[in-house]
A and B are shown apart, each in its own frame.
Chain A
Amino acid sequence: MVLVLLLVIPFLVGIVSFLAKDAAKNVALFGSLISLALSIYVAAYCGTEQIAPVSYAWMPAIGAQFSLAADGMAAMLCLLTGVIFPVVLLINRHKEIPNPAAYYGLILLSQAGLMGVFLASDALLFYFFWELALIPVYFLCSTWGGERRIPVTFKFFVYTFVGSLMMLSALIYLSLQTNGVNAMSLENIMAAGKSLPAMQQHFIFWLLFVAFAIKMPIFPFHTWQPDAYEQAPTQITIILSALMVKMGVYAVMRWLIPVMPQAAQYWSELIMTLSIMGIVYASLIAMVQSNIKRLVAYSSIAHMGLMCAAAFSGTELSNHGLMVQMFNHGINITAMWVIVNMVENRYGTQDFKKMGGLASTAPGIAIALVIISFANIALPLTNGFIGEFMLFTGIFQSASQYHIVFMAVAALGIILGAVYTLSMVQKVAYGENNSGIATVAKMNAAELVAIIVLLAFIIGLGVFPQPLLDLVLVK
């Protein structure tokens, strides 16, 4: 029952927000806090009877059920969703935006969709929530985004919609292979996938993989992402980069590799090569960005490349590390965006060559920026390190004959990551103030709360990662 509440509460609060007019931002924040409490409960009790799977008849004619279940990985992602939304709603509280009721309502609808994606154990339901999570984001980007929001959202929409259709057709095809009740359930889909003849398996595999690769995104399916991150309002960018990209990884882990293990094995070297090329490619491009949002966007592509390579390395260690890294990446990139949002609001630009001197004008923000940047480049004793270490070790131990090359090239990312991240820190925080803005405001209370929560995760999970490592393995 709790699982249903996890969906229903953001959905209902979202509807209320639409009607709440000026109070919407407080209603939304309140609702997100309830979701947070529920997601903590789910994470704490997952694997016990309190968090039993639920299943209702939905569309029996086509074998679709309304069935939800939470294992450790799903509970972890719900917890991440639960943590990120209050943070999203805490920053920019002072900012006046047009039509706040719709804005906050859409944000919460998207949260409901996200929770559903992570909990669904029925293919059609999964697809339904996938779209429910995305559609509000299209509207949020195209209505409240930056100057180039319309073409950018159009590109984003086309990319992801093409992906969604490929996924839907693949899932329907799979469900048709099982002639029985509940054709759409994860179990039946898995059985269907394994029973397919090799050629069809490859075909279906690529339909699904491209859909998920667009979402993560994996080189060369990534070009919607820097534009979308740059043009979307930063709050929406957080939802996109911390949570929606995790939908892609999660889908690979739940709906692709277990469904078509042979095809996944067959194509693993190609996909690892693509992903690892993407790490170096995106890191190099990040080095020459001067727009802070694009820099973080390319940095994220590099991180996702590593995660995708690990997903296909087929070792237990990298799978385990991947689940941990999903959480930690979500926390770190959110923290990064929160800082980016602060400096963008204060300097009035995204070009970090026009910033500078933050360490003297607003030292608190600069300190947070430095800590988060080092978490972003996986310094030990920050949460970024644990996952990366496990991912690298896992890739190194993969059965591929190129495993050493994969690991070594992927690890070039840790050098390049240091280059672009520290260059950004230097331009934003150090040196003289180049912005022409005399007083840079210090952090306000809401921003401070958001940053402290995120820093607590960064340091806490960096020093004591074991609770998270244990959580994600719960069956």
Chain B
Amino acid sequence: MIQLAYLIPLFPLIGFLINGLGWKSMPKQAAGFLASLMMLVSFGLSLAIFFEVKAGAADTIIPLFDFIHSGKLLIPFAFKIDALSSLFLLIITGVGFLIHVYSTSYMHEDEGVVKYFAYLNLFVFSMLLLVMGSNYLIMFIGWEGVGLCSYLLIGFWFKNRDYTNAAKKAFVMNRIGDLGFLVGMMLVLYNFSTLNYNELFAQINTNQTVLSGSTYTWVAICFFIGAMGKSAQLPLYTWLPDAMAGPTPVSALIHAATMVTAGIYMIARSSVIYNQSEFALHFIAIVGLLTAILAATIAIKQYDIKKVLAYSTVSQLGFMFLAIGCGAYTTAVFHVMTHAFFKALLFLGSGSVIHAMGGEQDIRSMGGLGKKMRITQITFLIGCVAIAGIPPFAGFFSKDEILASAFAHSPILYVAALGAALMTAFYMFRLYFLTFSGKFRGTHEQEHHLHESPAAMTFPLIVLAILATVSGFVGLPEVFSEHHSLNEFLHTAVTNFGAHHMEHNTELMLMGLSVGLVSVMIGLAYARTKSPNFVANTGLAKVLENKWYVDEFYDAVVVNPLVQFSGFLDRIIERKGIDGGVNGVGKMVRWAADRMRLLQNGQVGAYLFTMVIGIVLIFVLGLFFVNF
């Protein structure tokens, strides 16, 4: 069965080709049905393979063909199925399928729906390449492929200049990260002459190639720069909030559940490399923590329902990198999984709200929606509870594990991370209360239109809500259970750096502390939103509402100077300098030729005179330089 794993990306590819080539003539409903069906088949296959791996099937390489073969460089186009990739396959195809189903209803009125499903299938195909590749180059193909799809889907409504700007920004910022990835690959190739995971990690583990620690640090940092771009970490995170310009199911699938977690996958996959460089791990921990805090502060003061969720995603990704930085790769993967469920749920829930509100995204105009849309309300609440970290919902277990690994590392990390977690609870419940409880603050027309979404949209919400509730049990903390099923499952593929064993009492105390404080935060959020009054923000609140002015800072420090410098190169150096010089030479030649022309004046006397002078000159010179 595992040998058939290449079929998993094949089906979305077929879906893409049919919808993509038939974009003119494909009926709208058929497009959505076909795309979802392809996802369902892939999900079925992923499930079968997952259970086979879980039952103990060995790591498998599935070679397809030689992609690049030049001298000593051989890069096969091959897939690798092991515990890590099979888990990601399940998340991608599973959540992917639900979001495809959701989209059939959400997008059914859009004129570009066939194109939409083509892109969505292409995205899943690329994402599958990313996690299934057996070497870094195949990962890179998927990596850039998901970037392309993200670009196409952010700018899906291409008539809007702001949306296409957001799409461009996303691609360019990702490219900056990709440069890091590329240099990382070059370094690996240079030092190990292979990009295949198996051979590379075997070389490192068996010390066949002995390298200085700093080489590992460079490789690790370069790959992490790639992850910064794709997984929206400081300083390359500003594209993700802008990416909310895309249709909401896209935000759920690409910009919350799957693509943005590619950076986590990459580092978990490379755990062997990262374990060689403690410096790189510290660096990652700090970047992740800062991102988690910064994004959480911004989320507190956003009024766009999707922007709150976007900053929340950035912040949660920061948590995952914090876990990685603490050497707990499997914990990060655990949080990828639970986050995929509850964040997809929250985004799809927000989509349901936006749908009902006729496109309105400002939570200041919402309120009291719970009465009209019960399923959306309850599932959204489950999502909020899960992300806030209330037991026994999924987010509690994964977040608790991150906090515990931070604590084992340093209490300072723990306190800072806990602070970010508390902010998470606050802004999520602020969002929930402002949206679903209280009185409706929009127009009468909007109120008249409010309705629960159709079954194709509520069905994914319900499934995801169930997953967000129960999925935490695969990773019960030591206090409650001796078996951490996820860690046991992943341990063949991922090696954590250092192992933390915490006193059970300490662990219980920390849990109690965080749950207690989170509850206080929820109460605070309720109190603050009970009778909302939206006055213009001042002071720090205004800075937060304006996202710490980071975009303005980038524009002032990078973008504008670069454009001005380019203009200078074009107008002054290129046209006046180099081209001016060349034209000057040309003009000089013409000028000289003009003068020379006068010498040929047609008078034989003048010619004779010149000739005589010439002969005399030669004669004189000959006299002086006899040996000439």
Report A's interface with B, CB cutoff 8 A. 154-155, 158-159, 220, 223-224, 281, 284-285, 287-289, 316-317, 320-321, 357, 359-360, 363, 370, 374, 379-381, 386, 389-390, 392-393, 396-397, 407-408, 411-412, 414-415, 418-419, 422-423, 426, 429-432, 464-466, 469
- B502 CB contacts on chain A under 8 angstroms: none
Complex CA distance for A95 and B373, rounded to whole angstroms = 61
**In the complex where A317-B73, A381-B141, A414-B178 touch, is A464 in contact with B579 (Cβ < 8 A)?**
no
- Pick the residue among A220, A379, A407, A469 that contacts B69 (CB under 8 A): A469
Complex CA distance for A374 and B149, rounded to whole angstroms = 12
29 residue pairs from A and B, CB less than 8 Å apart: A155-B582, A155-B586, A220-B578, A223-B578, A223-B582, A284-B562, A284-B565, A284-B570, A285-B566, A285-B570, A287-B566, A288-B563, A316-B70, A359-B158, A374-B148, A379-B144, A379-B145, A380-B141, A389-B68, A392-B186, A396-B190, A408-B183, A414-B178, A426-B168, A429-B158, A430-B161, A431-B164, A432-B159, A469-B69
Interface bracket on B: 35 or more
Complex CA distance for A429 and B167, rounded to whole angstroms = 13
**In the complex where A381-B145, A411-B179, A469-B69 touch, is A422 in contact with B574 (Cβ < 8 A)?**
no
B70 A380 Cβ-Cβ under 8 A: no
**In the complex where A285-B570, A415-B175 touch, is A426 in contact with B164 (Cβ < 8 A)?**
yes
Within 8 A of A (CB), among B561-585: 562-563, 565-567, 569-570, 574, 578-579, 582-583
Complex CA distance for A158 and B590, rounded to whole angstroms = 12
Complex CA distance for A158 and B579, rounded to whole angstroms = 13
- Pick the residue among A281, A379, A429 that contacts B569 (CB under 8 A): A281
Interface string of B174-191 (1 = CB under 8 A from A): 011011001100100110
Q: How far is the CB of A322 from chain B (nearest CB, A)?
A: 11
- B579 CB contacts on chain A under 8 angstroms: 223
Q: How far is the CB of A380 from chain B (nearest CB, A)?
A: 4
Q: How far is the CB of A390 from chain B (nearest CB, A)?
A: 6
Q: How far is the CB of B157 from chain A (nearest CB, A)?
A: 10
B321 at the interface (CB under 8 A from A): no
* Identity of the chain A residue whose Cβ is nearest the Cβ of B176 in the assembled complex: A415
**In the complex where A426-B168, A465-B68 touch, is A407 in contact with B565 (Cβ < 8 A)?**
no
* Identity of the chain A residue whose Cβ is nearest the Cβ of B585 in the assembled complex: A158
- Pick the residue among A224, A363, A380, A418 that contacts B171 (CB under 8 A): A418
A430 B562 Cβ-Cβ under 8 A: no
A415 B179 Cβ-Cβ under 8 A: yes
Q: How far is the CB of B172 from chain A (nearest CB, A)?
A: 5
- A389 CB contacts on chain B under 8 angstroms: 68, 137
B628 at the interface (CB under 8 A from A): no
**In the complex where A414-B175, A415-B175, A431-B161 touch, is A407 in contact with B71 (Cβ < 8 A)?**
no
Complex CA distance for A176 and B463, rounded to whole angstroms = 84
* Identity of the chain A residue whose Cβ is nearest the Cβ of B140 in the assembled complex: A380
Complex CA distance for A159 and B586, rounded to whole angstroms = 10
B569 A411 Cβ-Cβ under 8 A: no
B65 at the interface (CB under 8 A from A): yes
A288 B179 Cβ-Cβ under 8 A: no
Name the residue among A158, A317, A374, A430 with the largest chain B CB count within 10 angstroms: A430
B109 at the interface (CB under 8 A from A): no
Within 8 A of A (CB), among B537-577: 562-563, 565-567, 569-570, 574
Question: Is chain B's binding surface mostly helix, strand, loop or mixed?
Answer: helix
Complex CA distance for A431 and B151, rounded to whole angstroms = 15
Complex CA distance for A266 and B172, rounded to whole angstroms = 37
- Pick the residue among A407, A418, A430 that contacts B186 (CB under 8 A): A407
- B569 CB contacts on chain A under 8 angstroms: 281, 284-285
Complex CA distance for A303 and B582, rounded to whole angstroms = 23
A379 B148 Cβ-Cβ under 8 A: yes
Complex CA distance for A384 and B521, rounded to whole angstroms = 53
Complex CA distance for A289 and B570, rounded to whole angstroms = 9
Name the residue among A386, A389, A432 with the largest chain B CB count within 10 angstroms: A389
* Identity of the chain B residue whose Cβ is nearest the Cβ of A320 in the assembled complex: B70
A411 B183 Cβ-Cβ under 8 A: yes
Q: How far is the CB of B521 from chain A (nearest CB, A)?
A: 41
- B567 CB contacts on chain A under 8 angstroms: 288
- B96 CB contacts on chain A under 8 angstroms: none
Complex CA distance for A155 and B168, rounded to whole angstroms = 37
Complex CA distance for A224 and B585, rounded to whole angstroms = 13
B591 at the interface (CB under 8 A from A): no
**In the complex where A374-B148, A431-B164, A465-B68 touch, is A392 in contact with B182 (Cβ < 8 A)?**
yes
A288 B570 Cβ-Cβ under 8 A: yes
B189 A393 Cβ-Cβ under 8 A: yes
B155 at the interface (CB under 8 A from A): yes
Complex CA distance for A112 and B3, rounded to whole angstroms = 52
Q: How far is the CB of B230 from chain A (nearest CB, A)?
A: 14
B66 at the interface (CB under 8 A from A): yes
Q: How far is the CB of B147 from chain A (nearest CB, A)?
A: 8
- A158 CB contacts on chain B under 8 angstroms: 586
Within 8 A of A (CB), among B67-101: 67-71, 73
Q: How far is the CB of B430 from chain A (nearest CB, A)?
A: 35
- A429 CB contacts on chain B under 8 angstroms: 158
- Pick the residue among B66, B190, B570 that contacts A397 (CB under 8 A): B190
A422 B578 Cβ-Cβ under 8 A: no
Q: How far is the CB of B79 from chain A (nearest CB, A)?
A: 15
B73 A393 Cβ-Cβ under 8 A: yes
B566 A284 Cβ-Cβ under 8 A: yes
Q: How far is the CB of A421 from chain B (nearest CB, A)?
A: 10
- A317 CB contacts on chain B under 8 angstroms: 70-71, 73
Within 8 A of A (CB), among B19-75: 23, 65-71, 73
A469 B179 Cβ-Cβ under 8 A: no
Complex CA distance for A188 and B593, rounded to whole angstroms = 39
Within 8 A of A (CB), among B134-174: 137, 140-141, 144-145, 148, 151-152, 155, 158-161, 164-165, 168, 171-172
**In the complex where A285-B566, A389-B68, A432-B159 touch, is A380 in contact with B144 (Cβ < 8 A)?**
yes
A357 B159 Cβ-Cβ under 8 A: yes
* Identity of the chain A residue whose Cβ is nearest the Cβ of B564 in the assembled complex: A288
- Pick the residue among B161, B171, B566 that contacts A288 (CB under 8 A): B566
- A370 CB contacts on chain B under 8 angstroms: 152
**In the complex where A287-B563, A317-B71, A374-B148 touch, is A155 in contact with B583 (Cβ < 8 A)?**
yes
- Pick the residue among B67, B165, B179 that contacts A412 (CB under 8 A): B179
Q: How far is the CB of B155 from chain A (nearest CB, A)?
A: 7
**In the complex where A359-B158, A386-B68, A430-B159 touch, is A422 in contact with B144 (Cβ < 8 A)?**
no
A469 B70 Cβ-Cβ under 8 A: yes
B172 A422 Cβ-Cβ under 8 A: yes
Q: 18 new A-B pairs (CB below 8 Å) besides A380-B144, A393-B73?
A: A220-B578, A285-B569, A288-B567, A288-B570, A360-B158, A360-B159, A380-B140, A392-B182, A396-B190, A408-B179, A408-B183, A411-B183, A414-B179, A415-B175, A419-B172, A422-B151, A469-B68, A469-B69
Instruction: Give me the 7 closest cross-chain CB pairs, A-B, nearest first.
Output: A380-B141, A430-B158, A284-B566, A223-B579, A396-B186, A430-B164, A288-B566
